[in-house]
Amino acid sequence: MTPRFPGCDTTYFGEGQTYGPLPDHGYTNLKVVLHTTETVGMPGFGTDGSTAPHYVYDATNKDWYVWADVDERVGTLKGHSTNHCNDDSIQVEILGYSDGRWSPWVGDFDDTDYNELARFFKWAIDEGLVDDGVTVEPAGGWQYGTSSPYRMTNSEWHAFSGLTAHGNAPQNTHWDTGVLDLQRIHDLALQEEPDMIYQIGNHYPTYEEITWLLYEAAGGIINVNATAADQLQPVLGKDDPTLVTEDDFDYLAGLLSMSDFQSDKLHNEGLFALGKEIAALRSLTYD
């Protein structure tokens, strides 16, 4: 039996249920398929668990739950989907919404959510369950309906192995996981030690390195005997150098001559390629 995802709640909701049969074509080219429940609380999944996934991620409490172990459930039917979505799949339901009118919405997911989902995907890769492929979500998220241009064909689906979403699966109408950034999850999973993903309004101890560079780029001279707050606050208005602010990103975008598109992406998604931004700032401040 495949080991359960480390850190997953030991509650095995599917105990005693019948899920079979497995598809005849076996366990080749597995994929992790992400869904959203469009609920805050845990669904009954058919009241008896008969439509349950393998795992559930609670986006509110950042907890994981197992409904059925992977080896038992790969390829079995999952109620609201067709078997083309479930063949050779490891199903993960996220307690949350692809619909932005409700909360928790995947568009508001923070570093913790992305790192948790990346941790699961990395586990699946390390266990040899899936390859490291990814299907990048289209701009604005997946589209509703069986005719969505973003759905794989049956043959493409069975040939793919990696991370994908319900909206990419053939022969169904669903469009989850909306605007969830699968590429970001994938990239985090493949990093040995994921970088910080700095976002406005959050605190990061190592963000001080960026603010010192901003300070120097603004013409400040570092006084080794002064505190960070004393030196950074007058130039950048930062009482707390670990707090990421809107002004930081505006200033960073200006220093690096970012386009409006790049600047908007920076504000909306945070600093993904930390090393690139640091290197660019160093070139400005130390040349």
Check the CA dihedral 88-120-6-57 and report its sign: negative
Q: Return the CATH number at 103.
A: 3.40.80.10
Domain membership flag for residue 113: yes
Distant-in-sequence, close-in-space partners of 62: CB < 8 Å, separation ≥ 6: 112, 113, 116
**Whole-angstrom distance, CA of residue 254 vs CA of residue 134:** 33
Whether 144 and 245 share a structural domain: no
Output the pLDDT for position 209: 75
Whether 58 and 186 share a structural domain: yes
Domain membership flag for residue 54: yes
Domain membership flag for residue 46: yes
Output the pLDDT for position 33: 92
Whether 122 and 235 share a structural domain: no
Output the pLDDT for position 71: 64
Whether 174 and 40 share a structural domain: yes
At 252, phi and psi to the nearest 5?
-60, -45
Whether 31 and 117 share a structural domain: yes
**Whole-angstrom distance, CA of residue 171 vs CA of residue 166:** 10
Whether 55 and 178 share a structural domain: yes
Q: Which domain holds residue 241?
A: 207-286
Output the pLDDT for position 212: 80
Sheet holding 55-58, edge to edge: 9-12, 63-66, 55-58, 89-95, 31-36, 162-165, 133-134
Whether 145 and 236 share a structural domain: no
Output the pLDDT for position 165: 93
Output the pLDDT for position 25: 42
pLDDT, one tens digit for every residue, the chain (287 residues): 455 676 666 565 544 443 433 344 456 788 899 999 999 988 877 766 667 788 889 999 888 888 776 765 554 444 344 445 566 788 899 999 999 999 999 999 988 899 889 989 988 888 888 999 999 777 777 888 888 888 888 888 888 999 999 998 888 888 899 999 998 899 889 885 545 667 888 887 777 777 787 887 777 777 777 777 777 777 677 778 788 888 888 888 888 888 887 788 788 777 755 556 666 777 776 55
Calculate Rg over the CA atoms of the chain: 22
Domain membership flag for residue 3: no
Whether 102 and 71 share a structural domain: yes
Its pTM stands at 0.63
Domain membership flag for residue 1: no
Output the pLDDT for position 102: 94
Domain count, the chain: 2
